[in-house]
Amino acid sequence: MSKGKGKARVDSFEDEHVAHTFCSACMEQCALSDTLELECKRPEDAIKHAYCRSCLIDLLRTSLTDTTLFPPRCCGKRIPIFACVKLCPPALIDQYRDKQNELALPNPVYCSNRYCGKFIKPGCVTADVATCPSCKEETCTICKNPRHNGLCPKDPTVQMLMEVAGEKRWQRCPRCRTMVELFEGCYHMRCRCGGEFCYKCAKPWKTCRCVQWDENRLISGTQVADAPGNHIAMPEEEEVQEADPLLDVVNDLNLRLATVAGGFAIQNDGVEESDDADQLSSECSHHWKRTHGQEGEREGCGVCHHQLKFVNICTTCKTRICNRCLNNRL
C-alpha cells in the first residue's frame, strides 16, 4: 500500500511540473507537449498563440473544404505544415499536400461525373483526357465535359485550325473526322478510313445535290484560290455530347479555387452575409474585447455564424468575431 501511495504522489508531483499553455482556438489549458506553439500573438495577448492537437486537426480539416482558411494561417502568417506533422494524422497531412498541389495548378481538372466531382491529378491525364481514379469516368481537360470524340471546340488551337481550314477550303471526313484537302479532281472523296463523301458539303457520297466537280479543281486546286471557301463545321456541331443539365453541380466545385471576396464572406446554410464580414475590410483598426454568453447562452460569430461560448467584439465598430476567424482569416 505504501508503495502505491508513494507512486501516486510522484505522479501528482510530475503533473504539477508539466508545462502548460492555452489553446488560442478553444482557450482550454493543455500540455505544451501536445500543442503547436507559434511565434505570433496579438498586442493584447500575454502569450504566443498555440493550438492544441484537436483544434489544429480541426483547422487543417476545415481548410480542405473552406478556401478562405487555406492555407491555414494565424495572424496572417502561414502555419508551416511540417510543424503540424507531429500532431496530425498522416492521412490528413497527405490530404493537405494533395490540396496544396491542386490549388497550385493553373487549370485543375475535376471529374465530370456529377456524383463524383473529385480532383484528378495530372498523373491521370493522357492526351487531354483525364481518368478519374475513383469512378473511372473520363473527362476532357479542355472543356471539362465528359470525354468526347474528335477535337475539342473549346481548344484555342482547334478554333484557329478551323479558321485556316475554311480559308484553305479543307473538309472533314464525316466518318473519322480527319481533315482532308482536295488538290485536284472531282468532289468524290474516299478517305483512308473507307468513308466516301462529297468534298463540297461533307455529306456521304450520293446523298446530296452538289455538282460532282469544279472545272478549275479538275486542273489544280491552286487555280481556285479566290473561290469561296467550304463550310467547315466546328467540332461542337456534331461531336461534343450535349451538356449534362446538372453539369453546374460539378462546375460549382471550382468555387474551391476562388477565395470568397475579401476572404471573409462565408455563407452558412443559406444565411446571408453579415454586416460584420463587411466591417472586417473597413478602415476600423479594431480593438477586441472578449465577451461571454450570459447564463450559459452562446455567442454568435458575425462572420462564420457559429455559436460559441464566447466571441471577440470590437469596442469601436461592434464587429463580433470568434477566435478562429480572428486568428485564421485575418
Q: Output the pLDDT for position 293.
A: 66
CATH number of 20-104: 3.30.40
Angle at 63 between CA 57 and CA 67, to 5 degrees: 175
Q: β-pairing, 77-78 with 119-120?
A: unpaired
For the CA atoms of 67, 52, 97, 118, what is the dihedral angle to 10 degrees? Answer: -50
What is the pairing mode between strands 109-110 and 125-126?
Answer: unpaired
Q: Where in the chain is the domain with CATH 3.30.60?
A: 260-330
The angle subtended at Cα 163 by Cα 161 and Cα 169, nearest 5°, is 95
pLDDT at 94: 94
| pLDDT given for residue 9 in this prediction | 41
Mean pLDDT by runs of 10 across the 330 residues of the chain is 45 56 87 90 84 93 87 91 93 93 88 91 90 93 86 76 76 79 82 84 88 69 48 49 44 38 36 49 74 72 79 84 82
Check residue 55 and give its pLDDT. Answer: 92
Supply the pLDDT for residue 296. 62
Q: Does domain 260-330 have CATH number 3.30.60?
A: yes
Chain region(s) in the chain for CATH 3.30.40: 20-104
pLDDT of res. 309: 78
- Give the pLDDT score at 282: 57
Report pLDDT for 265.
34
pTM > 0.85: yes or no: no
